[in-house]
Amino acid sequence: MPNRTWADDLKTNDEGRKSIPEGLWIRCPACASILFRRSVENNLWVCPECQHHFRVSAEQRIEQLVDPGSFEPMNAAMASVDPLGFVDLKPYTKRIEDAQRKTRQSDGVQTGRAFIKGRKVVLACMDFTFLGGSMGSVIGEKITRAIEAAADHDLPLVVISASGGARMMESGYSLMQMAKTSAALARFDDMGGLFISVLTDPTTGGVTASFAMLGDVILAERKALIGFAGPRVIEQTIRQELPDGFQRAEFLLEHGFVDRVVHRSDLRSEIGSIIDYTGK
């Protein structure tokens, strides 16, 4: 009898189609390859077949990016409240509780001091798994405090963006974070600070319209969706078909909106080289 392979062990669903054993194998959404989960993790959550960059949490991003054991969190306990008593299908407070339970984080960004390739930085990593990385008062406040910490200690600022935009449950409070973070960055720029903005999939809405596009150097991960309104909304508004790859990182690079598209495996080195080049 021939040796069994992993394919022989795939489960069969009610329709007779084979499915992937839960947790052991994953399917690449770009090329549909069946991948051993551990090998993808070891490859920084990049598909080894087509180089598709999977979305990662803030915790995973920090682990990938900073020197081991060097991350010192700031304002880690800061959490959202419900200033408007907002309710849609369920109360906003319940959505916050569910997201905190799911991600084990207080809100959708982690900030702190760290070393990247031996260079000390202030780092902010947004987390799309927390309510779609939506920017509410806490995210705006934590990023503003990170900017101010970088200014106070004359350190480079690195922000990893991943967001669906403003957090609708906070309405005007959320929109004001665009002005607050942008104003803080203007003061940081006046002081001669270095801001490296890294755009990942997706970076959209109010985050794109504020701090994400204000970097001295703007890097983007491969094929990241970057824009303000989504492509379907734009198509319906202008009633025209959009070009291939519209709002993807490579399209923005071609049109001068980002400085470089960087593979995830090269991101640490790229950030280190930029800091060295600028003398920060």
Q: Write the DSSP string, 118-133.
A: TEEEEEEEE-TTTGGG
pTM of the model: 0.90
Domains recognised in the chain with CATH numbers = 1-52 (no CATH), 56-278 (3.90.226.10)
Q: State the Cα–Cα distance between residues 150 and 158, nearest whole angstrom.
A: 9
The one-digit pLDDT tens for each residue of the chain (280 residues) are 455 444 454 444 445 555 555 679 999 999 999 999 999 999 999 999 999 999 999 999 999 999 999 999 999 999 999 999 999 999 999 999 999 999 999 999 999 999 999 999 999 999 999 999 999 999 999 999 999 999 999 999 999 999 999 999 999 999 999 999 999 999 999 999 999 999 999 999 999 999 999 999 999 999 999 999 988 889 999 999 999 999 999 999 999 999 999 999 999 999 999 999 998 8
Q: State the Cα–Cα distance between residues 120 and 135, nearest whole angstrom.
A: 26
Specify the amino acid at residue 53.
H
